[in-house]
Amino acid sequence: MSSPVFLPGSTIGILGGGQLGRMLTIVAKRMGYRVVSWVGAPDTGPAGLADVVIEESFDSAAGLSQFLAEADVATVEFENIPKALLETITAQLPLHPGAEAITIGQHREREKNFLSENGIPCANYAVVDSSESLALALQHLPDNGGILKTAEFGYDGKGQLPVTANDDASLIWADFEAPRAVLEEKIDLAAELSVLVARGTNGKTITYDPAENIHRDHILDLSILPARLDKAILDEAEAIALRVADALNYVGILAVEFFVSGDGRLLVNEMAPRPHNSGHHTLDACVTSQFEQQLRTICGLPPGAPTLTRAVVMLNLLGDVWVDADGKPDWASILALPGTALHLYGKAEARRGRKMGHLNLTAENVDEALALQDKCRAILKIPARD
């Protein structure tokens, strides 16, 4: 049986109320779709562009009833949606990606086990659920130690603790405040990259060019394209990302994040069952953005070309920019620079470390794009690149 096709005029249901849903909404409305956004809490700004915003909690029967009545097809803009809700929605209308893919992506233990079971390379790890199992796992760490990570609800470096084989497991576990965790070997990082995969309801799959990513304080700072890495590594990353999408029987946009280790290993770090921060460059430097691609795939439409049209650097804008400028960043000076595209997320309050927007900086080559972002950093008082 062929999957249904949802044409303009249909209503897209989005679970979540952040910037990813906002950018999907902008594309959907441009293409003639309606959008209902179920925020799950009071809207802080980004969801306000939707035709309908549901602020009921995700365990609300009224919220569920309204969402099901409004939406023709559903998707997620963040992965931490209750599994029971995902399964309830799936029984009533198409949900892409599916509940299984989302629940794997929201839980590090399930994610690591999925990768291992499918022969997909990832860091060596052990699942721990007590001080005793942690003590045993610590004994097998390499000399440079490991990272203890909560099994659930970790992002941007949250829920992570560096540990060594000599640490006291009982003290660590008493303070960690998580019932289950994953202990990973600490990777000697040579580089980080990510690959966006778009997979349709018919199984047709395409990839975007891999992005070279640079983090600061565990938060993505820059994405650079074309990536300044060996072509063999980039080709391998694309091939692995396609294997991940096929193993998940995925529909939608999937981001697969990789570590390149100092000893030459290419390892999957995390998967995001949704558009991704490192794909924001696609809005200004690709034929089809990741958000239009998400819309096309969940609606059963043909994919758009993922072709990179220019060199680009995506620079994340955190709330620090607003705090350091007394709430008035110098956007005029930024926009006076050729090749700059400003994207703000409509969030009501700027806080240090909070993602408030990004800049896409395009040029003829990567060196020129990096030079442009250095100028932007200076204007906005963002610390210089290391």
Phi-psi region of 109 (alpha: psi -120 to 50; beta: other; left: phi over 0): alpha
- The domain limits of the chain are 11-95, 124-185, 189-380
User: What CA–CA distance (Å, rounded) separates 9 from 31?
Assistant: 9
| pLDDT score of 95 | 98
Asked whether 7 and 33 are in contact (CB, 8 A), the reply is no
Spell out where 40-128 has E strands: 52-54, 73-76, 125-128
Residues in the chain: 386
| pLDDT score of 69 | 98
Question: Does residue 296 sit in helix, strand or coil?
Answer: helix
Domains 11-95 and 189-380 share a fold: no
CATH of span 11-95: 3.40.50.20
Where is 134: in which H helix or E strand?
A: helix 131-138
What CATH superfamily classification does 189-380 receive? ATP-grasp fold, B domain (3.30.470.20)
Which residues make beta-bridge pairs with 149?
160, 182
| pLDDT score of 158 | 65
CATH of span 124-185: 3.30.1490.20
| pLDDT score of 230 | 96
- 100-122 pLDDT, tens digit each: 999 999 889 999 999 999 999 99
| pLDDT score of 157 | 54
Full strand arrangement of the beta sheet holding 73-76: 52-54, 34-38, 11-15, 73-76
Averages of pLDDT over each 10 residues, the chain, 386 residues = 88 97 98 97 91 97 98 96 96 97 92 96 94 93 91 68 92 89 94 98 96 95 98 98 97 98 94 97 98 98 97 98 97 98 96 97 98 98 89
